[in-house]
Chains A and B, each alone.
Chain A
Amino acid sequence: MSVNFDTPRGSLEAVRGVDIEIPAGMSVGVVGESGSGKTVMCRAAMGLLQGSTVNRTGTVIFDGHELTAMSKEQVRELFGSGMAMIFQDPLTALNPVRRIGAQVSEGLRIRLGMSKSDAMARSKELLELVRIPNAAAVLKSFPYQLSGGMRQRVMIAIAIACNPKLLFADEPTTALDVTVQAQILQLLRELREDLKMSMVLVTHDLGVVAGNTDYVAVMYAGEVVEYAPTKKLFADMRMPYTEALLDSIPRVDHKSGTRLSVIAGRLPDPTNRPAGCGFAPRCKYAQDKCTTDHPELKTDPDGHIYRCWFPIGEAL
């Protein structure tokens, strides 16, 4: 799948030729810096990007249905019961002038055809399921009356209301405190297990990925540059970008005062992608070939995928 936006400065390649598979029941992390195309990829996969300036090419297949060949209305039918999404900022994602109860029960009534009272009763159960204390009172509250963590729990309750098979979680804990983040991540882990739900977890935090996913896709400049089972990726990185990203984060398990390695430079301009590897100008292993030829995806026999001419662990 590729996504381009028409802009006054020319075509902006937000996502370039991404091939990714979400195995049933698994959790796949998507990591990368701001502007690497994580969010655009998820939204495009769900068909949420529309308008005359958006050009999406490629195919998206969900549970045997080819979404890219379906009409908008048909795709919409899958929202809620097939796939659902939770967003980074729960305050802007919730409607500020409707009560929580109305927002949680909406999907139940539309997708599952429940009556108003049944939907309300089920909404209360859902709020209890996401561990909101005093659910009956929260049903009657407005979003501004809740804390950030509670709002994100409400978002999760809405998302899981119709038992979706796949949940897109786009930076679900970035706006939250660490203690609340840990609670929300634990909740997502448990719900995923109970509901046998697959999840795409978009985040910029390698720590969140390490403890909450089965597979990881690392994105850089609109492309997936590495994809592997999470344990394998952390144990045996092939892509220099992934290594540089991991080395640049401060960690609580390192000694204090440790100097961080720095990735020099910045992401390439998305309206003017370089001919070679997008990371070449910032890569400490880069050779001449990297600046002229765009690397192909390579797959190791064990399924570890990466996009690099000179991957880590291979002699030059």
Chain B
Amino acid sequence: MAGSGTAHMRNTVDSVLTVRDLTVEFRVGKNKTVKAVSGLSLDVVKGETLAIVGESGCGKTTLARAILQLPPPNSGEVIFDGTDMTLLPKENLRSARTSMQMIFQDPISSLNPRMTVHQLIDEPLEIWDRGTRAERDERINKLLFSVGLEPDLVLNRRSYEFSGGQCQRISIARALALDPRMLICDEPVSALDVSIQAQILNLLLFMKETYGLTMLFISHDLAVVKAISTRVMVMYLGKICEVAPPDVLYSQPAHHYTRALLNSVPIPDPTKQIRTELLQGEPPSPMNPPSGCRFRTRCVGASALCAEQEPQLREVSPGQFVACHHPIV
């Protein structure tokens, strides 16, 4: 993979977010650029949870931040609710962001330690002037309650008094304060213990149903992704390998990279250990990505064609799109 193409785009009126040909590059020193995201397209339909998986450095987080224009991408369109975010003037961008909120990986450092929980959740409501003091207080209580925190006990405490799991609950309450249409979660459970991770994942599923949210869920953990997503996109070095519904992707991966990723996930059952050929080496530098298919240097199925021509995304089974010259069938 690691190819381009738009075959996986559904172009329906239900799309909450449509990203077309997004490119993000960072200049590092003289004449060197890191190609973090290269010509990537995706769409997220209302009520869907699109998960983006890949190894560190594949551009997952950069993609999420570019969607929020933090910083704006080098080129490409980000159409959210019918408007292209990349063309919006600063003031309109701020108000557009209210309906697209983000949850970060490290729950403790993403909350201001000097603010009380009340101030943290009130801040967005106050800035956007949502209701009177009493209405806002009621909203804050309701939000805290819905994320499983007891408002009376937590309102006047600060983030350092809470555990990681509780801080992530506060972050979720804060992100939902403005009734966003879309929630972007960047590795929201990676820093948490397994028992807490299950609580937060269930909470996100519950919130999604309650608030009718559309989610973009970024994670390196394939098991977490399977539990929460309705569509999965596998990324490698700034490009898409494969897009498919989770049950299809996990049971019959079409891309060699997807299969290699799945084979390296440890399964908590001593009787189900698969010992296949592991993916060798590490991803090449995004400063100088391989020609053609970006995965070809580590791919077991690579041929001469893979070096010459970049594979385009195409449908191999209903809803399953793969960018590979020699997909697994």
Query: Measuring CB to CB, which residues of chain A are less than 8 angstroms from any residue of chain B?
Result: 33-34, 133, 147, 149-150, 177-183, 185-186, 204-211, 230-231, 234-235, 244-246, 248-263, 266
Which of A177, A182, A235 interacts with B263 by CB under 8 Å? A182
Which of B55, B246, B268 interacts with A207 by CB under 8 Å? B268
Asked if B265 and A147 sit within 8 Å, CB to CB, the answer is no
Please, which residues of chain A bring their CB within 8 A of the CB of B86?
Answer: none
**Shortest Cβ distance from B278 into A: residue:** A182
Subset of 25 A-B contacts with CB under 8 Å: A149-B282, A150-B282, A177-B55, A178-B261, A179-B261, A180-B282, A181-B266, A185-B266, A205-B194, A205-B266, A207-B266, A210-B268, A230-B270, A234-B269, A234-B271, A252-B222, A252-B223, A252-B250, A252-B267, A256-B230, A256-B247, A257-B227, A260-B201, A262-B195, A263-B198
Q: Select the residue from A133, A150, A177, A244 with max chain B CB neighbours within 10 A.
A: A177
Asked if A255 and B247 sit within 8 Å, CB to CB, the answer is yes
- Contact of B273 with A by CB under 8 A: yes
Asked if A179 and B247 sit within 8 Å, CB to CB, the answer is no
Please, which residues of chain A bring their CB within 8 A of the CB of B205?
Answer: 259
State the CA gap A209–B194 with chains docked (Å).
14
Asked if A177 and B266 sit within 8 Å, CB to CB, the answer is no
Please, which residues of chain A bring their CB within 8 A of the CB of B260?
Answer: 179
**Shortest Cβ distance from A149 into B: residue:** B282
Asked if B264 and A179 sit within 8 Å, CB to CB, the answer is yes
Please, which residues of chain B bring their CB within 8 A of the CB of A253?
Answer: 267, 269, 272
**Supplied contacts A252-B222, A253-B272, A260-B227, 4 more A-B pairs, CB within 8 Å:** A183-B280, A211-B266, A234-B270, A259-B205
State the CA gap A257–B281 with chains docked (Å).
32
Please, which residues of chain B bring their CB within 8 A of the CB of A209?
Answer: 268
- Contact of B20 with A by CB under 8 A: no
- Contact of B299 with A by CB under 8 A: no
Please, which residues of chain B bring their CB within 8 A of the CB of A186?
Answer: 278
| Top 5 A-B pairs, shortest CB-CB distance | A207-B266, A182-B264, A256-B246, A250-B227, A206-B268
Please, which residues of chain B bring their CB within 8 A of the CB of A260?
Answer: 198, 201-202, 227
Q: Select the residue from A33, A186, A210, A244 with max chain B CB neighbours within 10 A.
A: A210
- Contact of B34 with A by CB under 8 A: no
Mark interface residues in B238-277 (1 if CB within 8 Å of A CB, else 0).
0000000111001000000000111111111111110000
Asked if B278 and A250 sit within 8 Å, CB to CB, the answer is no
Contact A204/B272 with A177-B56, A178-B265, A251-B267 known, Cβ cut-off 8 Å: no
Asked if B227 and A258 sit within 8 Å, CB to CB, the answer is yes
Contact A183/B278 with A252-B267, A260-B201 known, Cβ cut-off 8 Å: yes
Mark interface residues in B159-189 (1 if CB within 8 Å of A CB, else 0).
0000101000000000000000000000000
**Shortest Cβ distance from B229 into A: residue:** A256
Asked if A245 and B229 sit within 8 Å, CB to CB, the answer is no
- Contact of B224 with A by CB under 8 A: yes
Please, which residues of chain A bring their CB within 8 A of the CB of B202?
Answer: 259-260, 262
- Contact of B64 with A by CB under 8 A: no
**Shortest Cβ distance from B57 into A: residue:** A177
**Shortest Cβ distance from B166 into A: residue:** A266
Which of B194, B201, B221, B280 interacts with A204 by CB under 8 Å? B194
Asked if B270 and A210 sit within 8 Å, CB to CB, the answer is yes
Please, which residues of chain B bring their CB within 8 A of the CB of A185?
Answer: 266
Asked if A250 and B193 sit within 8 Å, CB to CB, the answer is no
- Contact of B226 with A by CB under 8 A: yes
State the CA gap A133–B297 with chains docked (Å).
15
Asked if A254 and B194 sit within 8 Å, CB to CB, the answer is no
Please, which residues of chain B bring their CB within 8 A of the CB of A250?
Answer: 197-198, 201, 221, 223-224, 226-228
- Contact of B142 with A by CB under 8 A: no
Asked if B229 and A231 sit within 8 Å, CB to CB, the answer is no
State the CA gap A271–B171 with chains docked (Å).
29
**Shortest Cβ distance from A232 into B: residue:** B270
Mark interface residues in B199-221 (1 if CB within 8 Å of A CB, else 0).
10110010000000000000011
Which of B56, B223, B247 interacts with A251 by CB under 8 Å? B223
Closest CB-CB distance, B279 to chain A, in whole Å? Answer: 5
Asked if B267 and A178 sit within 8 Å, CB to CB, the answer is no
State the CA gap A254–B269 with chains docked (Å).
12
Closest CB-CB distance, A199 to chain B, in whole Å? Answer: 16
Please, which residues of chain B bring their CB within 8 A of the CB of A261?
Answer: 198
Asked if A231 and B199 sit within 8 Å, CB to CB, the answer is no
Please, which residues of chain A bring their CB within 8 A of the CB of B193?
Answer: 33-34, 204
State the CA gap A263–B278 with chains docked (Å).
34
Please, which residues of chain A bring their CB within 8 A of the CB of B262?
Answer: 252
Closest CB-CB distance, B276 to chain A, in whole Å? Answer: 10
Please, which residues of chain B bring their CB within 8 A of the CB of A248?
Answer: 194-195, 197-198
Please, which residues of chain A bring their CB within 8 A of the CB of B198?
Answer: 248-250, 260-263
Q: Select the residue from A147, A181, A207 with max chain B CB neighbours within 10 A.
A: A207
Asked if B195 and A210 sit within 8 Å, CB to CB, the answer is no
**Shortest Cβ distance from A229 into B: residue:** B270
Closest CB-CB distance, B112 to chain A, in whole Å? Answer: 24
